[in-house]
Amino acid sequence: MAAVASSEQTDIQRAGAPARRRSFPVWRWAILLIAAAYFLIPLYAALRFAGFKAFTQVTSYPSFGSAFGLSLRLAIIATVLTLVLMVPTTVYVHLRLPRIRRVMEAITILPIVIPPIVLIIGVLKVAPGFLLGSPNLLGLEYVVLAMPFAYRSLDAGLRSFDVKTMVEAANSLGAGWPTTLWRVVVPNLRTAMLSATVLTVALVLGEYTMASLDNFQTFPVWIVNFEQNSGPVSVAASLLALFVTWILLMFIVTVGGRSASKRGGGQVQLFTISTQTASHTTGEPE
Amino acid sequence: MTTNTAAGTAGGVLGTAGHGAGAPVVLQALSRSFGATRALDGLSLDIAPGELVALLGPSGCGKTTALRIVAGFENADSGTVTVDGKDVSPVPAAKRDMGMVFQSYSLFPNMTALENVGFGLRMRKFRAGDRVKRAGELLDMVGLTPQSRQYPHQLSGGQQQRVALARALAIEPRVLLLDEPLSALDAKVRLQLREQIRTLQQRLGTTTLFVTHDQEEALSMADRVGVMRNGTLEQIATPSELYSRPATAFVAEFVGTMNRIPGNYQGNDEVTVLGTVVPVHGDRPANLAAEVDVLVRPEGLTIEAIDHGNGIVTDRTFLGSLTRVSVLLSSEVAVKVDKTSTAAAELVPGTSVQVGVVAAEPILIAARR
C-alpha cells in the first residue's frame, strides 16, 4: 500500500515538475506587465499631456531654482544629522543594550504613527528662538521623520556582520572607542548608511505636508502652488521632480555602491540591503 | 609545508620581539556571576612565562568568562589578574597589550589581509612603511604572503584564522589569548592549524591562554591543561598526567574514554573489580557504600576469547594499530577494551570473552550510578 502511494506521488511529481517550469515564467511576466502598466500608463499619459515645451518652461521660472535648492539643502542637513545621531545610537544599542532593541523599534516607529501636524506643533513649542522661521528647522523635523527608515536600515546593517567580535578585536589591538567606530564599524556599515541616506533623501525631496504647514517653498510645495496656475506646466514639474529624485538616488547608489563593492562590501540596490560577505568558503585551497 | 615556511622566516620577527614575549600571568580567586548564574567561582591559575595553558571544560564551565576577564572584556566581581606582577584590572582592553584570536571570524571585512595584520601597528603609530614590512613578515610567518592583498571574504576559514593569528601576534602581545580559534574549521584544517599555532607560540615564547571544549586540542597543544567545572579548576596538570592520573572522576571521564565498572570497595584503600583486588587513589565517595563504580581506561582492561567468559563482544572499531572492542559484560555493563589490531582479529562480534583488570596502577572510584 505504502509502496503504491509513494510511486503514485513520484508520478505526479514527474508530471508536475515540467508543467510548472513551463507555466511559471508566463505568470511572472503577466504580473510584471500588470505592475508595470500600473506605473507606466499614468506616467505616459502625463508626458503626453504636458508636452516637451512645458518642461523648458518649468525650468525657466526663477522660483524653480530656489525651491529645488532649498529641498537639496534640507536633504543634506537631514541626512548628515540622521547619520551622526543614529549610527552611534544603533551601534551602542547593539553592543551594550541589546535588550532594549524592541523598545527602540517601537520608539522609532512613532514618527510614522503620529500625524505630522502634531510633530510640527511639538517641534515649534520646543525649538530655540533662532531656529523659528529658519528653513533649518524643517531639516530637524525631517530628521525625526527619517528616523524609522534610518534606524531600520542601520539595524539590518549591524546584523549583517558580527559587530561585537569586530569591536572586541579592534579593542584588543589597541583601538579606543572613536577609532573603532570610525575605522571598523562605519566602513562595514557603509551599505546600510547608504540605504539610510537614500531613504532620507527620497523622503525629504517628496515631503509636502510639513513644509507647507511651516510655510517654506520646498520643491514639492512649489509644484503644488504651481499647479494652480497652469495645467501642463505643473504636470511637467511633477514629472521633473520624479526624474530628478530618481536620478539623484541612482547617483548616490552608484557612487556609494562602487566604493563599497571595491572594498569587498555588498552591492547596493535601491531599498534592499544586501548582507556583506555572507558566504565563506571552508577548507584550505592549498 | 606551511610550518617549513614559518621556520624559515620567523627569525626576523623574533629579532624584534622584545618586551612582548613571555610575561607571567596570575589569576587570583576570580569570581563572576551573571544574574543567578555563577560563571566563575574563585578561579586561581598561574601561567609561567612562555607557557601555553589550555582551559578545558564543558560549555558553561566558565572558561570563556575567565579568558574574557583576562582580555578586559568582562570585569570580575572579585579577584585579580596580574601580568608581569602588575594588576591589570583597571587597565582597559585597548591598553592591555594582549593579542586575541576569536572563535568566530573576526577579520575586518573592509581591510585586506595585510591591512588587518597592520591594524594593531597602526594603533601603535608605526610609520606606514614599517607597518607594511612587519605585517608582511607576519603574513609570511603564517604562510599567507600570496593572499596579503585579498579581502577576508576571498579567504577560506582556515586562512582567515591564520590572518587573525598573525594580526594578534603582530603587536608583540605580552599575552596571547585564544578563544576556541579552531572550532569553526573543518577537521583537516583544524589539525594543521593546531600544529602551526603551537610551533609559532613556542618559537616566539608568548605566554598563551587557550580556551577549548575539545580535549584532543587541549591535550595535543598545551604545556598544561586545566580542566574546569562549575567555575573553578578541577585539576591542572600536564596532558599525560591528566590522562594517566586524573585527580577526580569528573576529569577522568571528561578526558579520554573511560569505563565505569561496578566494584566492591573494601574500605582499606582497595577495591575488587572483575575479580581482581586493585589499590584506590583520589576522591572517595562521601557516603561510602560498599558498591562503587570503578573507572578504568580501555587500555587498562585485558580481554581474552574464552568459552563461558564474563562478556560477549558486541562491536569493534578499527583505530589503526589498535582496535577498540565493545563488550557487554554479564552484569549488563558495556565496556570498551583496546587491543592490538592483530590480536583483536579473532574477537568477532558474538565471541565469548573474559575481561579483566590490569592491577598495576591505583585507580579511581566513584559513587555507583
| Angle at the Cα of B338 from the Cα atoms of B337 and B342, rounded to 5 degrees | 125
Contact A286 B151 (CB under 8 A): no
Ranking A81-90, A261-270, B106-115, B206-215 by mean pLDDT, the lowest is A261-270
CA distance B187 to chain A (A): 9
Residue B159, pLDDT > 80, answer yes
Cα distance between residue B278 and residue B298, in whole Å = 16
Write down the pLDDT at residue B139.
Answer: 94
Question: How many Cβ atoms from other residues are within 10 Å of residue A76's Cβ?
Answer: 14
pLDDT, mean of residues B120-132: 92
DSSP 8-state assignment for residue A180: I
Write down the pLDDT at residue A237.
Answer: 79
Residue A180, pLDDT > 80, answer yes
CA distance B95 to chain A (A): 6
Half-sphere exposure of B169 (CA within 13 A, CB side): 32
Query: B108, A188 in Cβ contact below 8 A?
Result: yes
- Interface probe for A, chosen from B70, B108, B110 (most Cβ of A below 10 Å), is B110
Q: Which residues of B touch A175 (CB under 8 A)?
A: 94, 119, 123
| pTM, full prediction | 0.77
Residue A224, pLDDT > 70, answer yes
Q: Which residues of A touch B72 (CB under 8 A)?
A: 171-172
pLDDT digits (tens, 9 = 90+) for A195-204: 898 889 888 8
- Interface probe for B, chosen from A161, A172, A286 (most Cβ of B below 10 Å), is A172
Q: Which residues pair with B294 in a beta bridge?
A: B261, B365
pLDDT, mean of residues B41-64: 92
CA distance A264 to chain B (A): 7
Residue A14, pLDDT > 70, answer no
Residue B107, pLDDT > 50, answer yes
pLDDT, mean of residues A225-243: 76
- Hey, what amino acid is at B2? T
Cα distance between residue A208 and residue A224, in whole Å = 9
Q: Domains (ranges, CATH) in chain A? A: 62-282 (1.10.3720.10)
pLDDT digits (tens, 9 = 90+) for A256-265: 766 555 444 4
CA distances from residue A219 to A67, A75, A211, B151 in whole angstroms, order as listed: 5, 11, 9, 43
Q: Which residues of B touch A165 (CB under 8 A)?
A: 102, 104-106
Residue B225, pLDDT > 90, answer yes
Ranking A113-117, A252-256, B36-40, B113-117 by mean pLDDT, the lowest is A252-256
Q: Which residues pair with A59 in a beta bridge?
A: none
Cα distance between residue B107 and residue B97, in whole Å = 18
To the nearest 10°, the Cα dihedral for B182, B256, B339, B270?
170
CA distance A192 to chain B (A): 14
For B110, which of A171, A173, A265 is closest by C-beta distance?
A265
H or E element in which residue B294 lies = strand B291-296
B233 pLDDT band, cuts 50/70/90, is very high
B152 interfaces chain A, CB cutoff of 8 Å: yes
Cα distance between residue A63 and residue A66, in whole Å = 5
Q: Which ranges of chain B does DSSP label H, i.e. alpha helix? A: 2-16, 63-71, 113-123, 128-141, 157-170, 187-204, 215-221, 239-244, 249-254, 341-344
C-alpha cell at A182: 570610525
Residue A126, pLDDT > 70, answer yes
B168 interfaces chain A, CB cutoff of 8 Å: yes
To the nearest 10°, the Cα dihedral for A170, A175, A179, A184?
-10
Write down the pLDDT at residue A246.
Answer: 84
Q: Compute φ and ψ for B267, nearest 5 degrees.
A: 100, -35
Cα distance between residue A51 and residue A232, in whole Å = 7
Residue B38, pLDDT > 70, answer yes
Residue B361, pLDDT > 90, answer no
Write down the pLDDT at residue B287.
Answer: 59
Q: Which of B180, B201, B174 is nearest to B72 (CA)?
A: B174
Write down the pLDDT at residue B122.
Answer: 93
**A 249-278 residues with CB < 8 A to B:** 263-265, 276-277
Contact B106 A176 (CB under 8 A): no
Contact B93 A176 (CB under 8 A): no
Cα distance between residue B263 and residue B259, in whole Å = 12
pLDDT digits (tens, 9 = 90+) for B288-334: 667 888 889 999 899 999 998 899 999 999 998 999 999 999 878 89
pLDDT, mean of residues B9-34: 67
Q: Can you give A122-151 as a three-state secondary structure string?
A: HHHHHCCHHHCCCCHHHHHHHHHHHHHHHH
Write down the pLDDT at residue B288.
Answer: 62
A10 interfaces chain B, CB cutoff of 8 Å: no
A96 interfaces chain B, CB cutoff of 8 Å: no
Cα distance between residue A109 and residue A147, in whole Å = 8
Write down the pLDDT at residue B106.
Answer: 92
Contact B110 A277 (CB under 8 A): no
Residue A206, pLDDT > 50, answer yes
SS3 A160: coil
Q: What mean pLDDT value characterizes chain B? A: 87
pLDDT, mean of residues A176-198: 89
Cα distance between residue A185 and residue A87, in whole Å = 9
Residue A272, pLDDT > 90, answer no
DSSP string, A103-115: HHHHHHHHHHHS-
Residue A58, pLDDT > 80, answer no
Closest chain A residue to B159 measured between Cα atoms? A284
Residue of higher predicted confidence among B181 and B360: B181
pLDDT digits (tens, 9 = 90+) for A131-175: 777 888 888 888 988 999 999 999 989 988 889 999 999 999 999
B334-340 and B322-329 beta bridge pairing: antiparallel
Write down the pLDDT at residue A183.
Answer: 92
**A 157-216 residues with CB < 8 A to B:** 161-162, 165-166, 168-176, 179, 183-184, 187-188, 190
DSSP string, B188-213: HHHHHHHHHHHHHHHHHT-EEEEEES
Residue B145, pLDDT > 50, answer yes
Beta strand ranges found along chain A (DSSP E)? 268-269, 272-273
B265 pLDDT band, cuts 50/70/90, is confident
Residue of higher predicted confidence among A168 and A125: A168
